[in-house]
Structure 1
Amino acid sequence: MSESGTSGSGRGRGPQRAGQGSQRGDQRGGGASRRNAQGRERNRGPQRNYTENAPSQRTRRADPARLVAFEVLRAVASEDAYANLVLPARIRHHGLDKRDAGFATELSYGALRGQGTYDAVLARCVDRPLDRLDPAVLDALRIGAHQLLAMRVPAHAALDQTVGLARAVIGAGPSTLINAVLRKVSAHTLEDWLELLLSNETDATKVASVRYAHPEWIVRAFRQSLVAHGRPVTEIDDLLEADNAAPVVNLVALPGLGSLDEALENGASAGELVEGSALSSGGDLGRLSSVREGTTRVQDVGSQLVARALAAVDLGNENAGTENLGTAAGKGESWLDLCAGPGGKAALLGALAHQRGATLLANEPAPHRAKLVRQALGAVPKDAWQVRTGDGREVGTEQAESFDRVLVDVPCTGLGALRRRPESRWRRTPKDLTDLGPLQRELLKSALDAVKPGGVVAYVTCSPHPAETTAVVSDALRKRDDLELLDAGSALDAVSLTGHLHAGHEMTAQLWPHIHRTDAMFLALIHKKP
């Protein structure tokens, strides 16, 4: 978070409650009428006070940054939208400067991440079940709760500005309830609330669910995932906590095409895990010419690592061993990205293919996402790539044994990217694991049919759940005798700057937010025997 915003917002310096700030409010003269359009008085006495301010000092307008956060939460709840897509558009629409944009970003993502915890607190402060509240009122309460419990916003400013927001966009009546509830919330710190909520709870899963704002089924799934990938289950708290940390923006310069110089001159720092990467402090990256041109892109380091690992596998010897992983490879080869949309990994693979004299076919079934793939590849010379719009499950039949390297980044629950997509934790259900399983297996089969003998398939998910990772790979290996696993951990080490990610477990590899500071990417490298 940036330093405190304009004097009218009462903003602090970012996450963590405390600190001092200022408050503007819309301080109109006391002569204004207190009656609404229906002639009812808007304040009937001390028992109806919206804030600690006198009536003439109450905020009657929506602070733009808080309004952006409210609109994001509304879009997520009512339109099933994605916050990372809605937020930039709303920031531009309201013309927020860098400081206010930072405040709106923290408030939006923080309220979404902490929803489970904040709802548990709010349930103690509301005289009815939360599902009986108007959804817009509940979103305003969550925004207020995040300011009061997890940001450096003074309580009086959080109350005044949130009630002002409610009066402006919801109505005077609901703002009364919001004021009363948030005053109760402000009576305790977050730690005090957690102690009150969990003092008699003995179920470790429920405790973790409330404390770290994850659904109980995801807490259980993460415990299972840690064990399945060779990690101690005692890391669960660290994993959940890392999921709630605001992620740093990762940049990648397309090899041979892009440069990070401009980003580094504007406050970014060089990445520590993979070459050609940088960590950005945020801001409007669209101001960078290299980003506008597409030669520098926003992409999590975990995604960069798995794409580079596939491109670097040495296919020059009969057994495609891992002793030479990381050497230059690819001249004259054909590569396939089977599930390419929206195009991030395809752009990196396309640049690597061009650099090494290979060609890439990027497949995407949805036409609108195929368009995004073309846009992502736009900065790569056109002789290095093609885009196919069609069902990836058919490629293995239509173009059998045609590709030297195949990336199959299958649709998954996205449990590994919850820190970047905070709303996903409240949308996903265990049923999604069951529903996605057959598709993941069919796509992997198609990839294995499409790869040449002697070639390699990278099976990738942005999820650590064994149902989407090791189980899918094991099923594929059981059904065929022409496949073998390469050491994916060694492959990641070979393309990392550190050389010792220690991500491998039984030949597959799993990255973790709490260990590697990446999304929880899974990688299996499957070699088709010559």
Structure 2
Amino acid sequence: MSRVQPARRVAYDTLRAVHESDAYANLHLPTAIARAGLNPADAGLATELAYGTLRRQGTYDAVIQIAADRAVHDIDPAVLDALRLGVHQLLSTRVASHAAVNESVEIAREAGSRGAAGFTNAVLRRVSRDTPGEWMQRIADGARSDDERLGLVTSHPVWIVRALRRALAAEGRADELEQLLAADNDAPRVTMAALPGLAEVPESAVRTPYSPFGFRLGGGDPESSIRASEGRLRVQDEGSQLAALALVHATPIEQGERWLDLCAGPGGKTALLAAEAIGRGARLDANEITPARAGLVRQALAAVPLEVEVAERDGREYAAEHPGVYDRILVDAPCTGLGAMRRRPEARWRKAPSDVPELSELQRELLSSAIGALKPGGVVAYVTCSPHLAETAGVVAEVRREWGEAIEEISARDAVASASRIDPSILPQIDGSGRAQLWPHRHGTDAMSISLLRRV
């Protein structure tokens, strides 16, 4: 019988699923917790261990490389994950050192061999002899540049450090980089939304600062509230709420408008748009290219008493087949996800600079296709959960050049302010455009970029 505590076992199995099978931690972990029957305290520990280890993986790998005196790619992957889990407990939690070491050694023994267990024991005991501050100084001293130092200490690939600096510099705020990198490593609080017209924010909840429908519960598992409300209360980042609401508030709404969520999966913004459509006399269509994600859209919409057709098409093709049809279109485009690294801790290790050109071309094609599907006077909201300038300002600039005087940009900052309790002054002017950029370190949201284009 395994001597590994169930919470650590679940955390380790999540690390292995992420690294071995390209699983998503936010999807794998809840299932693993339920399968193991963990109580709330152990579920919280498993979540902190798995997410914390993934977020800080780059830093921990640098520590392991020094303590093991060998490159991490020369260590058996299953043993390496046991080491990462142990280092996280030693350097970033209050877990007793002997528990962190002994259970990680047992995991390595099960995953590898007696030799793997001895190796893991030696490395972790070496790590435990120095303080977290001493280890941070040691890896910082070994950096070859300031960017590499920042990347190692804050656990971000260097290319992401540079991309985030450029995005902040576009606002004249490059000096906030270290705050942003630190915020990426903070566990986000669970934010929820009450679907407008269908549910009320619970009296016991704390309202979020900006969205009129956003709130946070005092504690406990939100699933019970979600089930009791039949999905009308739901988990949704406040930035995602504001992105959907910006489209609704972009221009005055006329009765009988037809709206489209072009890249709808997994359906959170779709459900919010559907609830708004009911109260405003609008119709809503949705499209999602991936069948599994289209299924999630349908599940999200089950809470909303509005008939919404969910197509399963390439968004570019779908838009091309509906020229001049829609009054409002949301293009929540596939992106690098650099704005959601708090909630998707493995994302920073899965993307590379080479992914950006392909993604930005897809984003451009989706946005351009959506404009073709607009009626005259119709508005498209172009949204990415990434602040990377190539995926945000760059895409919008290319599409504006392509369409010329047939489109105009309107202020997303004004639309977000109209839809929310946000002070427009905290959404500063960026690169001469109307784009609104949210930030985790400044607004407590994912780093959502929102642009609004109107067809003339």
Q: TM-score, normalised by structure 2?
A: 0.95
1:224 matched residue in structure 2:
166
Aligned match of 1:485 in 391, 409, 422? 409
Contact kept in structure 2, 1:336 and 1:361, CA below 8 Å: yes
1:405 counterpart = 2:342: no
SS at match of 1:255: coil
- Judged with a 3 Å threshold, the aligned counterparts in structure 2 of structure 1 residues 291 and 438 are, in CA distance, closer, same or farther, namely farther
1:408 offset after TM fit, Å? 0.5
User: SS state of the match for residue 466, structure 1?
Assistant: coil
Match of 2:277 among 353, 375, 384: 353
Query: Helix, strand or coil: the match of 2:354?
Result: helix
**Alignment correspondent of 1:141:** 83
In the TM superposition, residue 234 of structure 1 has moved relative to its aligned partner by 1.0
The answer (yes or no) to whether the contact 1:61–1:168 under 8 Å persists in 2 is no
2:380 is equivalent to residue 454 of structure 1: no
1:47-126 maps to which residues of 2 (within 5 A)? 61-126=3-68
Q: CA deviation at 1:169?
A: 4.7
Asked whether 1:247 is paired with 2:188, we answer yes
| Matched letter for residue 495 of structure 1 | A
Q: Does 2:208 align with 1:274?
A: no
Q: In the alignment, is the contact (CA less than 8 A) between 2:90 and 2:97 conserved in 1?
A: yes
Instruction: Tell me how far apart the structure 1 counterparts of residues 295 and 144 of structure 2 sit (CA, whole Å).
Output: 51
Residue in 1 aligned with 2:222?
A: 285
Q: Given the alignment, which residue of 272, 276, 286 partners 1:362?
A: 286
Shift of 1:283: 3.9
Cα contact 2:261–2:287 (8 A) shared by 1: yes
* CA–CA distance in structure 1, aligned partners of residues 24 and 218 of structure 2: 22
Q: Deviations over 1:10-31 (max 9, x none)?
A: xxxxxxxxxxxxxxxx9xxxxx
Cα shift readout 1:154-188 (whole Å, capped 9, x = no counterpart) = 21221122223333454433211111100001111
SS for the counterpart of 1:252 is: strand
Larger radius of gyration: 1
C-alpha displacement of 1:285: 2.2
Say which is worse superposed, 153-162 or 281-290, in terms of deviation. 281-290
RMSD: 1.7
- Take 1:139 and 1:330, find their aligned partners in 2: how far apart are those partners? 55
1:507 aligns with 2:434: yes
> Alpha carbons of 1:360 and 1:509: their partners in 2 closer, same or farther (altered >3 Å)?
same
What amino acid does structure 2 have at the position aligned with 1:140?
A: A
Q: Distance in 2 between matches of 1:339 and 1:483?
A: 21
Amino acid at match of 1:246: A
3-state DSSP of counterpart to 1:335: strand
Counterpart of 2:22 in structure 1: which amino acid?
Answer: D
The secondary structure found in structure 1 opposite 2:191 is strand
| Aligned with 1:188 (options 130, 135, 152) | 130
Q: CA separation in 2, counterparts of 1:71 and 1:217?
A: 29
2:234 aligns with 297
Structure 1 residues 289 and 297: CA distance shift in structure 2, 3 A: closer
Matched, 1:310 2:237: no
Give the Å deviation of 1:380: 1.0
Q: Residues 511 and 153 of structure 1: is their aligned pair in 2 closer, same or farther, counting only changes over 3 Å? A: same
Q: Distance in 2 between matches of 1:242 and 1:280?
A: 21
Secondary structure of the 1:459 match is strand
Q: Distance in 2 between matches of 1:140 and 1:188?
A: 19
Q: What residue in structure 2 maps to residue 474 of structure 1?
A: 397
- SS of 1:520's equivalent in the other structure is coil
Are residues 1:520 and 2:444 paired? no
- The one-letter code of the counterpart of 2:182 is E
Find the aligned partners of 1:414 and 1:485 in 2 and give their Cα distance.
Answer: 24
CA contact (8 A) 1:277 1:301 kept: yes
1:344 corresponds in structure 2 to: 268
Cα drift, residue 269 of structure 1: 2.2
State the AA in 1 paired with 2:243: V
Q: State the shift of 1:350 in Å.
A: 0.6
How many angstroms apart in 2 are the aligned matches of 1:247 and 1:510? 18
Q: Give the length in aligned residue pairs.
A: 452
Per-residue CA deviation, residues 275-301 of structure 1 (Å, 9 max, x unaligned), is 111124564322225466111111110
| 8 Å contact kept, 2:212–2:420 | yes
Determine the C-alpha separation between the residues in 2 that align with 1:460 and 1:495: 16
Runs of 5+ consecutive residues of structure 2 not aligned to the other structure: none
Structure 2 counterpart of 1:436, one-letter code: L
Counterpart CA distance in 2 for 1:346 and 1:240 is 30
1:283-331 superposed Cα distances (whole Å, 9 cap, x missing partner)? 432222546611111111001001011111224xxxxxxxxxxxxx352
1:215 deviation in Å? 0.4
Q: Residue 493 of structure 1: CA displacement? A: 1.2
Closer/same/farther in 2, CA of residues 291 and 427 from structure 1, 3 Å limit = farther
Alpha-carbon distance in 2 for matches of 1:171, 1:259: 55
Give 1:416's match in structure 2, choosing from 319, 322, 339. Answer: 339
Change (3 A) 1:334 1:246: same
| Mean CA deviation greater in 452-461 or 288-297 | 288-297
Query: In percent, how many aligned pairs have the same letter?
Result: 50
Separation in 1, partners of 2:320, 2:161: 39
Letter of the 2:33 partner, please give it: I
User: Do 1:248 and 1:281's aligned partners in 2 also have CA atoms closer than 8 Å?
Assistant: no
1:72 CA drift (Å): 0.3
| Aligned counterparts of 2:29 and 2:229: Cα–Cα separation in 1 | 19
Checking the alignment, whether the CA contact within 8 Å between 1:364 and 1:370 is kept in structure 2 is yes
The structure whose residues are more often helix, as a share, is 2
Q: Is residue 435 of structure 2 the alignment partner of residue 498 of structure 1?
A: no
Are residue 332 (structure 1) and residue 256 (structure 2) matched?
yes
Which secondary structure does the structure 1 equivalent of 2:329 belong to?
A: strand
Cα distance in 2 for partners of 1:440, 1:463 equals 12
How far the C-alpha of 1:382 sits from its partner, in A, is: 3.2
SS in 2 for 1:373: helix
Aligned counterparts of 2:159 and 2:423: Cα–Cα separation in 1: 35
The answer to whether the 8 Å contact 2:86/2:100 transfers is yes
Q: Is the 8 A contact 1:489 1:501 kept in 2?
A: no
